[in-house]
Structure 1
Amino acid sequence: MTLPAFTPEPRLLIDGKLVESSDGSTFDNVNPATEEVLGQVANGTKADMQRAIGAARRAFDEGVWATDRAFRRRCLEQLQTALESEREQLRAELVAEAGTPVALTYAAQLDWPLADALTWPAAMIDEFEWERELPDGNLMGRAKRAVRKEPIGAIGAVVPWNFPFEVTVNKLGPILAMGNTVVLKPAPDTPWNATRLGRLIAEHTEIPAGVVNVVASADHLVGEELTLDPRIDLISFTGSTTTGKRIMERGAATLKRVFLELGGKSAMIVCDDADFAAVLPGAGIACMHAGQGCALQTRILLPRSRYAEGVEILTQVVAGIPYGDPTDLGTLSGPQVSALQRDRVQAHIDRAIADGARLVVGGGRPAHLTRGWFIEPTLFVDVDNSSALAQQEVFGPVLAVIPYDDDADAVRIANDSPYGLSGGVYSASTERALRLAGQIRTGSIGVNGGLWYGADAPYGGYRSSGIGRQNGIEGLEMYTETKLLGWPA
């Protein structure tokens, strides 16, 4: 597929102005499918981040953003229009810098979030329950009482590289709709979609200076300034569990509030009454975008009574997954985002082999792709759920097939994980599938292929998969403070 040419934005957005880094430095943005340098972006410094934090704090404390709801809605609608006007350039840019298969940009990578990530929160500004009355109190004379929701303040938003635009707009929508200001720190692997958004804000909206700041940097410690600075009231982070724990630890000194959407090791439970021929081809979705998705169902749980049948089908499915050039509409699995990520995935594969899992498809770098950070779609069977392959997030196109005895055993295995982000249950009986889904300790779960995604749908996880929810009413409330008022009746 021929994608349109696009002009990237190399500058940062700080206090309403598009600027170079304070020391003039830049870093390369590299195409993971070709290993070619696409271009440069300003390499933000700690001084740049401090300026951005100061701007966000002033815009919240001194401006009208926190109080003028109609103005906020108008600005979000302006940003929506601006993004839609550059949809195709953004599509091409995402394929180039994230290595995402272009087909995925017509779904969760671009078009799905563009449809409602800003529009739904904007509409909810008028519908959200900003204040509710409580019954009169009578402890020391009759008193009127009310509960009021207010914006938190200045937010630090840290975004990963796997679905960068999707995560960014699903943070910005609720953060801004609720009246907060924000400093956005994109991942260094995928900075351009964020700096493009910064340019659109500066040139095509009335969003006041300092309300949104975008600071790209190759130095992860620049982003850590958000966690350390007491002027930031909350960190909204999507990424690895290891980094999420560090954010909690570093933010403890200022009692920083956090929203953390972290890793996953989701289970796909296929019941013994399921139509294997219809259901199991869907397991290949776990290799979508080279397996670089936190909610992907990478543990496939098959009943022992039909295990050999299931393995045979899955072997054909994974062997037939189209992978390679992300600009090809037929590609499901593109490159890993970096050489470092490719090597991490390969290390997981090598360890699984050493631990005794049976490799039946893939297992390494494809010989015919001499450029780009690719890993073959890979299938392991006879996996022990206590192994590293089953317990650790690989974040690559690697599926682990695990046998189970009965429904109770399937639930036990699914819940025997440090994570609890998502999953799926498949059965000829919807009632049975719903019953099992209710026993799985995850923040989201699909039943017989049902999709829960949307700006109105609260997404997040249990245990090591995070704290809080993104999107939905719960996601709006994540970015508010609660004030209780009482006054004489």
Structure 2
Amino acid sequence: MIEHDTLFVDGAQRSPAGADTITVIGAATGEVIGRTPAAGEADVDAAVAAARRALTDKAGWAGWDPGRRADLLDRLADEVEARGSEAAALVAQQNGMPITTALAVEAAIPVAVYRYYADLARNTEFSEVRPGLLGGSARVDRLPVGVIGAIVPWNYPNLLTAFKVAPALAAGCAVVIKPGPETVLDTYLFADAVSAASVPPGVISIVPGAADIGRYLVGHPGVDKVTFTGSTEVGRQIGASCGQLLRPVTLELGGKSAAILLDDVDLAVNADGLFQATLLNNGQTCVANTRILAPRGRYAEAVDFFAELCRSAAVGDPLDPGTLVGPMVTEAHRARVERYIARGVADGARLVSGGGRPQRLDRGWFVQPTVFADVDPGSVIAREEIFGPVLSVLPYDSVDEAIALANASDYGLAGTVWTADPDSARPVADAIDSGTFGINYFMLDPVAPFGGTKASGLGRELGPEGLAACLKSKTTHSLV
């Protein structure tokens, strides 16, 4: 049982303004594993005010040059790395992520993101002078956009915090983070890392809470930009609010991506990669390729392959290194996934494997990895994001049809193509309307932009593009 009674605001752990609390339930046990304060509006006010002070204090954060900011990011990377194993274990207990995944995605990769942006800060020109075409010159300065309200979801809390915090610090911004209440315990480790790295007061504050606190942060008059990762439904609401406020926003939203199997693919050789692309983090992944498009001549083979891939995946305690599929994050989320499974059956899809709860696991929010065949491309389970370990295998007759099926989605976040001939994959990759894509592999990399098209969002994180999203331009014209 982990209990906290403070919030990290303005560089220190402080008593909350109110008495509301967050109770954290272990995904694998259904038992209470922690309690923390829930931030109220007064706490958000204090965090935003501290961030604004940090941005106006020329003797403090506002006066730091890019090299000094880069050094801070390297220190933060070191401190996050030192707490990585403990953070990974906390995430696994809270949201059900298998520990082997958590050690990589929640511990190692965030460190790489902080170090990447440290290097980028050192090697980016934040000011340039351009000779004018009409006489004189124009100096273009790339300045911090200001206070960023960052709303982080529960599925990859440390990774997505890094996606938002690292470029913001590289740019010289201040950040108020609103983490998901389901994974609030690990934020205290991050706060420890922030303090140990000597991040100036106000530059990072953490205000955990439910949706109402997120809405309050989005609309706060002291916030200059919002970055949100989460559902498309909530993203639309945030986008509408920011549009009304003329406030820049980055939205990384849902997905319903497709994995296209070409006729020459060796499924056995690609088993590990296909598992990662389709079922990583128990399917609780926005880039999951949950639609499998298989050539009709190999359709039965593909259905059997994915059914066996799911049947053979060890389901169990997320802290067990042998576990490949853990529980859903909450009881309510499991119920949501189960409703989709029932809808698939009701709509006539053929349930090939899974579909229920593992019999030997009598507590926690587990769902068997599930495979449907004979799925109508227009059906609910083929169109809507389920966010669980549920795959639909659909046949196609030509590569052009496969491309059309992959693109026939409201979403455009990710996707993959699998083949023995990478050259044949490139025209397929080029034809898919999505922000990211993989050939015989899928994994995000800090050096390249990440984001979606259509209902998968607006803007980009990671890469130089992620830094640019935290900057605003100011032009000074001169005749000299």
Alignment equivalent of 2:20, drawn from 7, 20, 25: 25
Equivalent residue, structure 2, for 1:478: 469
Equivalent residue, structure 1, for 2:329: 337
Distance, in Å, in 2 between the alignment partners of 1:67 and 1:385 is: 56
> Offset of 1:8 from its aligned partner?
6.8
Distance, in Å, in 2 between the alignment partners of 1:132 and 1:18 is: 40
Distance, in Å, in 1 between the alignment partners of 2:265 and 2:88 is: 37
Q: In structure 1, the residue corresponding to 2:434 is in which secondary structure?
A: coil
Does 1:124 find its partner at 2:117? no
CA distance 1:10–1:31, shift in 2 (3 Å): farther
Equivalent residue, structure 2, for 1:460: 451
Equivalent residue, structure 2, for 1:154: 147
Give the alignment of 1:36-435 within 5 angstroms.
36-63=31-58, 64-69=60-65, 70-114=67-111, 116-138=112-134, 142-202=135-195, 204-217=196-209, 219-279=210-270, 282-285=273-276, 286-435=278-427
Distance, in Å, in 1 between the alignment partners of 2:5 and 2:289 is: 36
Distance, in Å, in 2 between the alignment partners of 1:356 and 1:283 is: 26
The one-letter amino acid of 2:136's match is A
The percent of aligned pairs where both chains have the same amino acid is: 37
The one-letter amino acid of 1:75's match is L
Give the number of aligned pairs. 477
CA distance 1:361–1:180, shift in 2 (3 Å): same
Residue by residue over 1:161-211, the C-alpha shift from the partner in whole angstroms, topping out at 9 and shown as x without a partner, is: 001111011211001110000100000000122232123323x13222111
Distance, in Å, in 1 between the alignment partners of 2:449 and 2:3 is: 32
| Structure 2 residue ranges without an equivalent (≥5) | none
Contact kept, 8 Å, 2:413 with 2:436, in 1: the verdict is: yes
> Offset of 1:463 from its aligned partner?
0.8
CA distance 1:185–1:342, shift in 2 (3 Å): same
> Offset of 1:267 from its aligned partner?
0.4
Contact kept, 8 Å, 1:33 with 1:99, in 2: the verdict is: yes
Distance, in Å, in 2 between the alignment partners of 1:200 and 1:275 is: 44
Distance, in Å, in 2 between the alignment partners of 1:344 and 1:307 is: 29
The one-letter amino acid of 1:207's match is V
Contact kept, 8 Å, 1:56 with 1:154, in 2: the verdict is: yes
TM-score normalised by length of structure 1: 0.94
Deviates more, 1:94-103 or 1:436-445: 94-103
> Offset of 1:7 from its aligned partner?
6.6
Residue by residue over 1:378-428, the C-alpha shift from the partner in whole angstroms, topping out at 9 and shown as x without a partner, is: 000111111111110000000000111101000000000011011100122
Q: In structure 1, the residue corresponding to 2:426 is in which secondary structure?
A: helix
4+ aligned runs moved over 4 Å, structure 1: 6-10
Contact kept, 8 Å, 1:12 with 1:198, in 2: the verdict is: no
The one-letter amino acid of 2:253's match is L
CA distance 1:220–1:453, shift in 2 (3 Å): same
CA distance 1:30–1:7, shift in 2 (3 Å): closer
Distance, in Å, in 2 between the alignment partners of 1:83 and 1:107 is: 13
Residue by residue over 1:428-485, the C-alpha shift from the partner in whole angstroms, topping out at 9 and shown as x without a partner, is: 2211101100000111111122x45222121111111111111100111010001222
Q: In structure 2, the residue corresponding to 1:41 is in which secondary structure?
A: strand
Deviates more, 1:258-267 or 1:283-292: 283-292
CA distance 1:246–1:122, shift in 2 (3 Å): same
> Offset of 1:254 from its aligned partner?
1.6
Distance, in Å, in 2 between the alignment partners of 1:124 and 1:239 is: 27
> Offset of 1:88 from its aligned partner?
2.3
Contact kept, 8 Å, 1:389 with 1:400, in 2: the verdict is: yes
Distance, in Å, in 1 between the alignment partners of 2:244 and 2:220 is: 10
> Offset of 1:288 from its aligned partner?
2.6
Equivalent residue, structure 2, for 1:3: none
Residue by residue over 1:312-341, the C-alpha shift from the partner in whole angstroms, topping out at 9 and shown as x without a partner, is: 222222211111111111111101000111
